[in-house]
Chains A and B, each alone.
Chain A
């Protein structure tokens, strides 16, 4: 939640943004992106939803993948292209300025080996996520994979209670500083499974509510 609030705040200025992400994830964001990029093989075709400044895209392209980043913010996409150029990888990157519910309008079915999204789905309510993942499933190739890293509400009664108490206390300073609250994603695993994929692996990062979810399309 705090993570999102901060992002919403820094998102308005992409230059501040990468630093902001680092601070809010306690420096984890790089590790998360490394974990994800390590799964990528040369020639993979990747769709990055809410690609932001493209730091993950660059890592994946360095592994030889082709990335299409979709983001609704022009400022972010400009930054992403700059980052790709700085690494000489701009030929492997395509950027599309559009919103996540529009993904199916841009590609044929079964286009991608991977659909990834880091910290970009938390703003969507459940109905939007269901809508998006239905389309993600269509765009994935046979055995295509989904990797999502985000703040997620913990499952299990006691964990959730503990989490809610901590968040309740943090709510006030967060509210005062960034003037808004944001909530972690609820029930993402079910949404993904209902869209026609199975969760294959989960990595939880200690001290934050960030989880990395891996899923695979059921054919």
Chain B
């Protein structure tokens, strides 16, 4: 009983603080009774993921090793996208754990969300170990194992289900609130209301995400603001607020909407562009719009295996990769990091978000003129089929 309560409290704590880093010690763990030929799963050292992953592996009775590498205590996706979870961190972990003495194989199953930061070839060169991308979501690991360590397409993409959306949304609200509380010390009677508004607004935009209109010329923002303002007005009428009281709360509501809708760091799922882009264009399109040079592409498919959004597909005709769905791209740059031939161009040209990436020569690569690839745009919107773990254009 106490154990269960402790578990729930722990979950709530980490749910609310996902925007902060909680490192756990980097180490090698044995799950069940692993033998020399047991699989190795890789994780970053964010304590919440590690505990969750362990419980999934234990529950599914998977005898294996769990290699925990340094991701600065944050989730692998953010860490890999910010030069904090790279091939070096994995090489360190393999070295220190002396993996090659423990097992008789050379495979490590890694989360594909690490792909924006991890150079597989460097790991192979330095340690002999091969990185194999596992399921995107750790919930799918038991299914993946049952499936003979094969992924299917669903296991490769982010589905953004309710839980995936709401967890970062709540912790985003906490991050804003903690900062705002510092100011609210002077207005203690606003604290409760502000808290409710911030959680409510974040819940509204992220929880109801699929039911709101698409953000195109600010449609979602305007629609959401209207609904929330109607709700606030009803409360005002019911509680018989004065006009000035109403305006104070409406002001708080609007600022909280602005924060939720721009989502400062792009840290939840709705927002993958810069604030300036949103202000100018009223949409969330990423600054990166992949287009692939068929002459440079060797058809290796590395990019296809790591795209979490189904942007890319293999053409059955040319055996090369093509971009069929660039509008869904969220600028994770996993494909660019993984591509061995620098075949991927940015159709939009120009600048990306200003994060520090671990991709050598990224800015030069992105500044290349993609004008000569104009014919490749004909793949956009092409009919696709699912074949194994990837999309193909038949």
Whether the pair A12, B126 counts as a contact (CB closer than 8 A) is: no
Question: Given the interface contacts A125-B25, A180-B20, A180-B21, does A12 sit within 8 Å of B96 by beta carbon?
Answer: no
Residues of B within 8 A of A127 (CB): 26-27, 96
Whether the pair B21, A181 counts as a contact (CB closer than 8 A) is: yes
Whether the pair A180, B74 counts as a contact (CB closer than 8 A) is: yes
Whether the pair A99, B96 counts as a contact (CB closer than 8 A) is: no
Interface residues on chain A, size class = 20 to 34
Residues of B within 8 A of A181 (CB): 21
Partner of B88, one of A98, A175, A180: A98
Residues of B within 8 A of A180 (CB): 20-21, 72-74
Whether the pair A176, B178 counts as a contact (CB closer than 8 A) is: yes
Whether the pair B96, A131 counts as a contact (CB closer than 8 A) is: yes
Residues of B within 8 A of A102 (CB): 91, 95, 126
Whether the pair A99, B88 counts as a contact (CB closer than 8 A) is: yes
Interface of B is mostly: loop
Q: Is A101 an interface residue (CB 8 A)?
A: yes
Q: Which of A21-29, A55-63, A70-78, A160-168 contacts B (4 or more CB under 8 A)?
A: A70-78
Residues of A within 8 A of B92 (CB): 99-101, 128
**Min distance, Cβ A79 to any Cβ of chain B, angstroms:** 13
Residues of B within 8 A of A128 (CB): 26, 92, 96
Q: How many residues in B have their beta carbons less than 8 Å from beta carbons of A? A: 27
Question: Given the interface contacts A105-B126, A175-B20, A179-B20, does A131 sit within 8 Å of B88 by beta carbon?
Answer: no
Residues of B within 8 A of A8 (CB): 72
The distance in angstroms between the C-alpha atoms of A194 and B194, with both chains bound, is 55
Q: Is A91 an interface residue (CB 8 A)?
A: no
Q: Is A30 an interface residue (CB 8 A)?
A: no
Whether the pair B179, A176 counts as a contact (CB closer than 8 A) is: yes
Whether the pair B356, A72 counts as a contact (CB closer than 8 A) is: no
- B contacts, CB < 8 Å to A: 19-21, 25-27, 70, 72-74, 82-83, 86, 88-89, 91-92, 95-96, 126, 175, 178-179, 182, 356, 358, 360
Q: Which 10 A-B pairs have the closest CB atoms?
A: A180-B21, A99-B88, A72-B88, A101-B95, A12-B356, A101-B92, A131-B96, A125-B25, A125-B26, A179-B20
Task: Give 22 CB contacts A-B under 8 Å.
Answer: A12-B82, A12-B356, A74-B358, A74-B360, A75-B356, A99-B88, A99-B92, A100-B92, A105-B126, A123-B72, A124-B70, A125-B25, A125-B27, A127-B26, A128-B26, A128-B96, A131-B95, A131-B96, A175-B20, A176-B179, A179-B19, A180-B72
